[in-house]
Amino acid sequence: METKTVKAYGTEAADAPLKLMSVERREVLPNDVEIEITFCGICHSDLHAAKNDWGGSNYPLVPGHEIVGKVTKVGESVTKFKVGDAAGIGCIVDSCRECEYCREGLEQFCVPGNTIVFGSPDKHLGGQTIGGYSETIVVDENYVLKMPDNLDPATASPLLCGGITTYSPLKHWKVAKGSKVGIVGIGGLGHLAIKIAKAMGGHVTVFTTSLTKVADAKNLGADAAVLSTDKEQMKNLTANFNVILDTVSAKHDVNEYLRLLKVDGSLVLVGLPSEALPVSASNIVHGRRSFSGSNIGGIEETQEMLDFCGEHNITADIEMIRIQDINEAYERLEKSDVKYRFVVDMASLKE
């Protein structure tokens, strides 16, 4: 198979910094789209994978899964894209296409296992897939997203993971006009959840451990904000939430939020704490409440989310960086020192 060499930023070990390296991309196959990457968001999952926090990372590893750019080449059988189109790539770049979940558009639950944009076995070149901290990417057109023309591509890039991770559960749990929605945590996921839930018609209350973020929540569109470390504030809340979206990836007491759900309400976890979260049986038995989880979304739903965000002018609040500053950004991300998403200007890779 023909390939070409492109520049990328990746790491060769869990304890090594990211650095400039050369990687191979395949030339377009009949159903492929080649994209010149212009912006790539930095998700906490990139950091976890680079540092092997979850185990299973293989090196060298090039992260990046919130990718936007311009189509530069298409295969002879491509019908959905043409050269010059604005396009996006999220977490999934392939799947079996045949299992019950793929047929339902739920590629995130592909039974044999989907192909993630980085760190998955590469069906074409061998080795593993290479992420968005690179000059270009080549993906089957069926896993490429159309970016809304009215959205700024830099601030829209975090929608490819952060956006769909919050949109999917809010839609699945039927958030609509009048829904009482709680959002736990204001970070890369939480700040987008506020915007999306409000656009769906929900009455949004944010829970944060940071006093400064109480004001931020209102500025982002929340109807109310609660300092969750204030026991009096938490004690005075009543069980009136239909759904609470929990975006926190650190250990925390989920029972504080389970008790705030209405009958048949759901606490939905989209963060990934590394430690177990104890659940009091009484908090779910009384009120027929649910403690659930959600994980990104399929390709069709991701496109639906992008179109929704285009209609409502929803994008992320970002801090733009050069790729040469990626290691400093990772250090700051570990300290939650960003409002609210780092995005890499990939033009800096050419410097």
Query: Which domains are seen in the chain, by residue range?
Result: 3-161+317-350 (3.90.180.10), 162-293 (3.40.50.720)
Number of residues written out for the chain: 351
Q: What is the pLDDT of residues 19-58, one digit of tens each?
A: 999 999 999 999 999 999 999 999 989 999 999 988 889 9
Residue carrying the six token digits 């400039």: 20
* Gap between the Cα atoms of 246 and 248, Å rounded: 6
Cα angle: 335, vertex 117, 3; to 5 degrees: 125
Per-residue CA distances from 281 to 14, 115, 259, 288, 307 (Å): 39, 37, 11, 11, 40
Strand ranges in the chain using DSSP code E only, listed in sequence order: 3-10, 19-26, 32-42, 66-74, 86-89, 92-94, 115-116, 136-140, 145-146, 180-184, 203-208, 224-227, 241-246, 261-269, 290-293, 318-322, 341-345
Q: Which residue has the higher pLDDT, 73 or 273?
A: 73
pLDDT at 274 over 80: no
Token duo for residue 217? 């929540």
Q: Are 72 and 36 in contact (CB under 8 A)?
A: yes
Alpha helix ranges (H) inside 150-270: 153-156, 162-172, 188-199, 211-219, 231-235, 255-258
pLDDT at 138 over 80: yes
The dihedral through the CA atoms of 280, 284, 286, 287 has a sign that is: positive
Q: What is the pLDDT of residues 280-336, one digit of tens each?
A: 999 999 999 999 999 999 999 999 999 999 999 999 999 999 999 999 999 999 888
* Gap between the Cα atoms of 122 and 129, Å rounded: 5
* Gap between the Cα atoms of 319 and 128, Å rounded: 29
- Mean pLDDT confidence for 335-348: 94
Q: What is the pLDDT of residues 246-257, one digit of tens each?
A: 999 888 999 999
pLDDT at 210: 86
Q: How confident is the model at residue 174 (pLDDT cuts 50, 70, 90)?
A: very high
Amino acid sitting at position 206:
V
Per-residue CA distances from 273 to 116, 252, 299 (Å): 21, 9, 26
For 83-127, the DSSP string reads: TT-EEEE-SEEE--S-SHHHHTT-GGG-SS--EETTTSB-TTTSS
Q: What is the pLDDT of residues 147-170, one digit of tens each?
A: 999 999 999 999 999 999 999 999
Q: What is the pLDDT of residues 113-130, one digit of tens each?
A: 999 999 999 999 999 999
pLDDT at 326: 97
Q: How confident is the model at residue 273 (pLDDT cuts 50, 70, 90)?
A: confident
Amino acid sitting at position 343:
V
Q: What is the pLDDT of residues 72-120, one digit of tens each?
A: 999 999 999 999 999 999 999 999 999 999 999 999 999 999 999 999 9
pTM: 0.94
- Pick from 95, 7, 108, 23: which is nearest to 59 by CA? 23
Q: Are 125 and 3 in contact (CB under 8 A)?
A: yes
- Cα-Cα-Cα-Cα torsion 240, 297, 8, 125, nearest 10 degrees, comes to 160
- Cα-Cα-Cα-Cα torsion 233, 238, 244, 247, nearest 10 degrees, comes to 20
Helix axes 188-199, 162-172, angle to 10 degrees: 40
Residue carrying the six token digits 């159903």: 31
Token duo for residue 237? 């809340």
pLDDT at 102: 97
Amino acid sitting at position 196:
I
* Gap between the Cα atoms of 92 and 298, Å rounded: 8
pLDDT at 211 over 90: no
pLDDT at 272: 84
The number of CA neighbours under 13 Å toward the Cβ of 305 is 33
